[in-house]
């Protein structure tokens, strides 16, 4: 089915009307555009994971394993015994509804099961109905029901309609985090062999090759060479990029989206220009060439598997500390999970900026620093030569990505950087930024093409806020610190707010940095003329 | 249907002691046996729930961060919303539990054509505060029934609570708070399409039950004046484990209704959503500091996971690496076989 036009998409959305039927009596409808395709069996085989063979979610009958019910209940029991978060969240929701209209998928679809509270009830009801004597006795009166095959389908549908963005958890009086429930439930589905292709293929690539896209070591080198050539063409300065260099001070790990595709590559050029400008002793690795982690969208164990590489590589290359690029879920994993999985990280040193001498006390145990923390510190110490007027063709607003804001709290650093490298920075409405920021609608491995309708719905609240500042201030750039954002926002903007380009923060840093020995800059990193230099961009070439 | 069933259940719960006491004369059953039973269930049940939660480990440190992290010294961080140490976590929890801070953030989203509008929506917070604070103070006021010598603090609370001096005996402000709060919460559940849709009978039941308690309490005080001295004698007897029905006192059936509903609430409490009162303290998104990179958090059930080691990877991409002019790291792989066994990451 073709994607409806923007003006038609929301016609059926009514946020203040509920269906006639009880939600337990409504089965999910697998309409094209609202679900992702099932994983290819080979992908699961390669990783030694269970699968259900060839099937698709729209199939009437799913090839569930014969012991599916027992397996599911055991998987649930196991999680209830290992995750206090999950157990507690199953126990204490009062159904006050404070979270109901906080989810972007609910706001964009009006589907009541996309209210975080009902998303939780989908499981809570089964836990009551299968494990609690009182639940069994009172049934629906207590919100309990028995597990059926349709419920497995329902779980698949709705736990892949949650981007694990944690916005609901900000508003819940008990901090019930539906993202946590989704993480657990995707694991439970995995035990039956249910997973989506788009979230699993990158896991296999990352496991075997080293990054989500499957870019092999020699290709990565070539890509970087191309980007270096572009930088030379634009700035007149030739930059060296150390790869797999032993004994470098810093291991820099970017998300692969930043060296793979437009507009991530411009951000990558920004990193390279920055490192060259300050003379950082760093290296990029071809073995640990991915800072993102699609394993996290499937199973925590897979997430741990993928990033173990980064630490082995840091040891092998004998670096002092690790610097991470701009990426959202990556920083959830790096900040909230790495130290638990890979610590104590006693083979590295407490990160210290070699340029400013700042010791990153906040990362003293884990030894990993966010590039925006690093750059903000450089700017605060006046170590960068910046010409913000080179971004005068840009009117930029900043999208707080879900995870850096709600799992980490990096709110000021990117803003500080933007204000220093651009002259035209404006904020979106208060209720749509910082800890209340809206998801891009495609996070947590849901950035698949076949999922486009749901992506446009889920991304609507964010896009709507962009539309507001576009009309009000003429915003033409949406900056973000997330590789998935950079991959998915272009489609979202084209759909809802045409005319807004998407960029990373370090792309704009790269535009503004005045390199030693550079030629007169007439173009930005995208070969677009700078303001006042229109028509001159060809001259230097 | 959910509403009807819960209402009927509460009506039945009112009739049980009514018939039991006024028709069957089971005073001491409803005055002594039931209260002991109920509070036994309450304590054991609550302890059971707490032990259940405490037993399950929290594997990761996953605070929901709602403000600026502590990072560079010149950036002001949010102590309440991104607590960086235990003391700040205690503060955050304090505001959550006492003032429902997260609920205070509540917004209301409206879709107007193609525009989303967010409005402030503090009513839920206000109703919840009225109800909970009313409930809490009423509970404290009740202590006077269990103490021979009423401490002056209780008298002071009484004095403030009946500050308006309307009616005789004067109407308590907290009675109005709890009543207003409850009615608002009930009304909201009935009227708001979303909240009504997510409600089970078990969401209406506690509201009706507590409403029953509050109304029977108010009736006792203002309409069917019960023998307070008799009640106090019974209460002290219960509290000191020397239970006896007061002699020659006419306590009144309405008291037994009130008491029975309270007992039902107590016994129901640990097995229902009402345990949120204790659960909130366990919430890992609120009671953990955002200091993950400063202080390591240990997962008690963490286990090693096999990954694609450098040497396996190098073996796999040997040709490509050499083609691209990268040096192979044989030395690392020699040492690694030993190291791998030691630290199976
Ligand atoms: C530490 C103590 C407590 C805290 C922090 C707390 C917090 C909250 C919050 C934030 C709500 C959601 C707002 C609402 O729906 O009103 C709520 C709901 C509720 N609480 Fe509590 N509570 C506590 C203790 C209690 C106690 C002791 C009771 C009574 C036995 C109680 C009964 C209820 C009920 C019945 C609701 C649901 C209201 C509704 O249906 O809308 N709570 N609580
Ligand atoms: S805000 Fe929390 S307690 Fe209220 S309905 Fe949502 S998940 Fe349940
Ligand atoms: S985590 Fe985000 S996507 Fe998931 S239910 Fe909550 S608000 Fe919705």
For residue A76, CA distances in Å to A128, A130, A179 come to 12, 10, 16
Distance from CA of residue A139 to its chain's centroid?
38
Instruction: Please say which residue of A195, A230, A255 terminates a domain.
Output: A195
CA of A29 from ligand 2 middle (Å) equals: 26
The number of domains in chain A is 2
Encode pLDDT of A445-463 as tens digits: 999 999 999 999 999 999 9
Out of B66, B202, B203, name the one closest to residue A435 (CB). B66
**Candidate of A102, A116, A117 to mutate for ligand 3, largest count of ligand atoms within 8 Å of Cβ:** A116
A219 contact partners, CB below 8 Å, separation of at least 6 = none
Q: Report CA Rg, chain B.
A: 29
- Alpha helices (H) in A174-299, listed in sequence order: 178-192, 197-208, 217-235, 257-260, 264-278
Orientation angle between helical segments A116-131 and A84-92, nearest 10 degrees: 90
B96 touching chain A per CB within 8 A: yes
Q: Report CA Rg, chain A.
A: 24
**Residue of chain B minimizing CA distance to A341:** B302
Please name each of the domains of chain B with its CATH number: 2-282 (1.20.950.20), 310-344 (no CATH)
Domain identity same for A231 and A164: no
B171 touching chain A per CB within 8 A: no
Domain identity same for A190 and A220: no
Domain identity same for A441 and A315: yes
Determine, yes or no, domain membership for A540. Answer: no
Domain identity same for A63 and A208: no
Determine, yes or no, domain membership for A240. Answer: yes
Q: Which ligand is closest in space to the CA of residue B125?
A: 1
Residue A363: what pLDDT?
A: 97
Determine, yes or no, domain membership for A441. Answer: yes
CB A348 within 8 A of CB A320: yes
Domain identity same for A250 and A329: yes
Domain identity same for A158 and A265: no
Rounded Cα distance, B9 and B208, in Å: 9
**Residue of chain B minimizing CA distance to A121:** B198
For residue A276, CA distances in Å to A240, A516, B112 come to 8, 10, 49
For chain A, percent of residues with pLDDT exceeding 70: 99
A70 contact partners, CB below 8 Å, separation of at least 6 = none
Out of A180, A376, A461, name the one closest to residue B62 (CB). A180
Determine, yes or no, domain membership for A283. Answer: yes
Pairing of β B115-120 and β B107-112: antiparallel
Do the Cβ atoms of A88 and B290 come within 8 Å? Answer: no
Residues of A in contact with B2 (CB under 8 A): 141
Residue A227 has pLDDT above 70, yes or no: yes
Residues of A in contact with B199 (CB under 8 A): 95
Do the Cβ atoms of A313 and B310 come within 8 Å? Answer: yes
B108 touching chain A per CB within 8 A: yes
Q: Is B298 helix (H, G, I), strand (E, B) or coil?
A: coil
Rounded Cα distance, A152 and B233, in Å: 57
Residue A97 has pLDDT above 90, yes or no: yes
Instruction: State phi, psi for B108 to the nearest 5 degrees.
Output: -125, 130
Domain identity same for A177 and A255: no
Residue with the smallest CA separation from ligand 3 atom 5 is: A116
Cα–Cα–Cα angle for A23, A24, A29, rounded to 5 degrees: 75
3-state secondary structure A483-504: HHHHHHHHHHHHHHCCCCEEEE
**Mean pLDDT confidence for A27-49:** 95
Do the Cβ atoms of B64 and A166 come within 8 Å? Answer: yes
Determine, yes or no, domain membership for A53. Answer: yes
Rounded Cα distance, B311 and B299, in Å: 28
Do the Cβ atoms of A18 and B111 come within 8 Å? Answer: no
Determine, yes or no, domain membership for A469. Answer: yes
Among A141, A177, A120, A128, residue whose Cα is nearest residue B199: A141
Residue A297: what pLDDT?
A: 97
For residue A189, CA distances in Å to A45, A182, A498, B98 come to 16, 10, 38, 38
Residue B313: what pLDDT?
A: 95
CA A62 to chain B, closest CA, distance in angstroms equals 29
Rounded Cα distance, B182 and A263, in Å: 53
**Mean pLDDT confidence for A256-270:** 95
Residues of B in contact with A313 (CB under 8 A): 310
Domain that holds residue A118: 28-195
Placement of tokens 């049934």 in the chain: A139
Determine, yes or no, domain membership for A297. Answer: yes
Domain identity same for A73 and A171: yes
Domain identity same for A35 and A142: yes
Residue A540: what pLDDT?
A: 45
Lining ligand 1 with CB less than 6 A are: A 94, 96, 173; B 97, 100, 103, 128, 132, 135, 185, 189, 203, 206-207, 274, 276-277, 280
Domain identity same for A168 and A216: no
pLDDT in tens, chain B (345 residues): 899 999 999 999 999 999 999 888 888 899 999 999 999 999 999 999 999 999 999 999 999 999 999 999 999 999 999 999 999 999 999 999 999 999 999 999 999 988 999 998 999 999 999 999 999 999 999 999 998 888 899 988 988 888 877 777 888 999 999 999 999 999 999 999 999 999 999 999 999 999 999 999 999 988 888 888 899 999 999 999 999 888 776 788 999 999 999 999 999 999 999 999 999 999 999 999 999 999 999 999 999 999 999 999 999 999 999 999 999 999 999 866 555 544 444
Residue A378: what pLDDT?
A: 98
ipTM: 0.94
Domain identity same for A316 and A405: yes
Rounded Cα distance, A211 and A205, in Å: 6
Residue A364 has pLDDT above 80, yes or no: yes
Domain identity same for A244 and A190: no
Among A528, A478, A479, residue whose Cα is nearest residue A500: A478
Residue A322: what pLDDT?
A: 98
Determine, yes or no, domain membership for A9. Answer: no
Under DSSP, the state recorded for A36 is: P
The set of long-range contacts for B272-276, using a CB threshold of 8 Å and a minimum separation of 24, is B272/B202, B272/B206, B273/A91, B273/A92, B273/A93, B273/A94, B273/A95, B273/B202, B273/B203, B273/B206, B274/B206, B275/A91, B275/A92, B275/B46, B275/B49, B276/A92, B276/A93, B276/A94, B276/A174
Q: Ligand 3 within 6 A of A34 CB?
A: no
């Amino acid at each position: 089915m073709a994607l409806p036009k923007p003006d038609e998409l929301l016609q059926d959305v009514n946020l203040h009307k509920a269906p006639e039927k009880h939600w337990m009596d409504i089965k999910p409808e697998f309409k094209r555009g609202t679900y992702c395709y099932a994983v290819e069996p080979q992908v699961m085989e390669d990783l030694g994971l269970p699968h259900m063979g060839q099937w698709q979610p729209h199939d009437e009958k799913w090839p569930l394993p014969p012991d599916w019910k027992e397996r599911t209940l055991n998987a649930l029991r196991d999680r209830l015994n290992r995750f206090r978060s999950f157990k507690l969240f199953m126990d204490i929701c009062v159904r006050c509804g404070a979270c109901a209209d906080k989810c972007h998928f609910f706001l964009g679809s009006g589907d009541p099961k996309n209210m975080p509270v009902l998303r939780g009830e989908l499981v809570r009801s089964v836990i009551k109905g299968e494990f609690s004597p009182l639940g069994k006795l009172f049934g629906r009166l207590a919100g309990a029901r028995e597990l059926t095959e349709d419920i497995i389908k329902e779980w698949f549908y709705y736990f892949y309609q949650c981007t694990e963005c944690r916005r609901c958890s900000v508003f819940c009086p008990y901090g019930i985090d539906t993202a946590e429930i989704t993480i657990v439930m995707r694991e439970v589905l995995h035990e039956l062999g249910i997973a989506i292709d788009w979230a699993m293929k990158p896991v296999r690539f990352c496991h075997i090759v080293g990054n989500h896209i499957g870019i092999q070591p020699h290709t990565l080198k070539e890509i970087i060479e191309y980007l270096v050539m572009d930088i030379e063409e634009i700035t007149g300065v030739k930059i060296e990029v150390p790869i797999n260099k032993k004994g470098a001070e810093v291991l820099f790990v970017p998300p692969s989206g930043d060296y793979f595709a437009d507009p991530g590559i411009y951000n990558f050029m920004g990193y390279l220009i920055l490192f060259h400008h300050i003379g950082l002793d760093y290296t990029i690795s071809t073995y640990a060439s991915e800072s993102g982690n699609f394993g996290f969208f499937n199973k925590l164990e897979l997430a741990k598997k993928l990033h173990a590489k980064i630490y082995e590589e840091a040891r092998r290359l004998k670096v002092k500390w690790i610097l991470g690029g701009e990426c959202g879920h990556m920083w959830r994993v790096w900040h909230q999970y790495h130290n638990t999985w890979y610590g104590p990280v006693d083979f590295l040193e407490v990160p210290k900026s070699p340029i400013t001498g700042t010791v990153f006390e906040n990362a003293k145990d884990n030894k990993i620093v966010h590039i925006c923390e690093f750059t903000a510190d450089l700017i605060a110490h006046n170590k960068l030569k910046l010409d913000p007027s080179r971004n005068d063709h840009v009117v930029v607003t900043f999208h707080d990505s879900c995870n850096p804001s709600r799992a980490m709290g990096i709110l000021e650093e990117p803003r500080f950087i933007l204000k220093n490298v651009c002259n035209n920075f404006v904020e979106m409405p208060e209720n749509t930024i910082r800890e209340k920021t809206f998801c891009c609608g495609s996070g947590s491995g849901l950035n698949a093409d076949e999922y486009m309708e749901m992506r446009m719905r889920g991304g609507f609240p964010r896009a709507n806020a962009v539309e507001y500042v576009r009309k009000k201030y003429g915003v033409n750039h949406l900056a973000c610190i997330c590789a998935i954002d950079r991959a998915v926002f272009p489609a979202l903007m084209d759909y809802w707010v045409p005319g807004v380009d998407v960029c990373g923060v370090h792309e704009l840093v790269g535009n503004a940095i005045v390199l030693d020995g550079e030629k007169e800059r007439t173009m930005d990193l995208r070969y677009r003329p700078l303001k006042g230099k229109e028509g001159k961009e060809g001259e230097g070439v | 249907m959910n509403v009807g069933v819960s209402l009927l259940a509460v009506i039945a719960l009112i009739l049980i002691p009514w018939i039991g006491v006024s028709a069957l004369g089971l005073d001491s059953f409803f005055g002594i046996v039931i209260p002991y039973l109920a509070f036994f269930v309450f304590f054991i049940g609550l302890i059971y729930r707490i032990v259940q939660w405490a037993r399950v480990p929290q594997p990761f440190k996953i605070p929901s961060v709602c403000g600026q992290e502590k990072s560079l010294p010149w950036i002001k961080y949010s102590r309440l919303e991104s607590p960086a140490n235990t003391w700040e976590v205690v503060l955050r929890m304090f505001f959550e539990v006492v003032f429902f801070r997260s609920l205070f953030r509540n917004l209301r989203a409206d879709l107007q054509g193609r525009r989303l509008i967010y409005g402030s929506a503090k009513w839920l917070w206000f109703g919840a505060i009225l109800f909970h604070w009313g409930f809490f103070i009423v509970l404290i006021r009740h202590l006077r029934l269990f103490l021979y010598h009423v401490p002056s603090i209780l008298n002071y609370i009484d004095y403030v609570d009946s500050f308006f001096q309307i009616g005789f005996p004067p109407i308590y402000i907290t009675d109005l708070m709890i009543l207003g709060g409850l009615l608002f919460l009930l009304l909201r559940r009935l009227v708001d399409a979303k909240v009504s849709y997510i409600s089970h009978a078990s969401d209406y039941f506690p509201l009706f039950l507590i409403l029953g308690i509050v109304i029977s309490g108010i009736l006792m005080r203002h309409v069917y004046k019960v023998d307070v001295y008799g009640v106090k004698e019974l209460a002290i007897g219960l509290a000191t484990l020397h239970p006896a029905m007061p002699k020659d006192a006419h306590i009144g059936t309405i008291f037994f209704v009130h008491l029975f509903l309270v007992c039902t609430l107590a016994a129901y409490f640990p097995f229902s959503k009402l345990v949120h009162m204790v659960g909130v303290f366990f919430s890992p998104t609120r009671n953990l500091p955002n200091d993950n990179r400063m202080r390591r958090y240990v997962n008690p059930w963490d286990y090693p996971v096999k990954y694609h080691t450098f040497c396996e990877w190098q073996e796999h991409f040997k040709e490509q690496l050499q083609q691209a002019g990268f040096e192979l790291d044989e030395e690392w792989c020699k040492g690694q076989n030993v190291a791998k066994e030691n630290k199976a990451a």
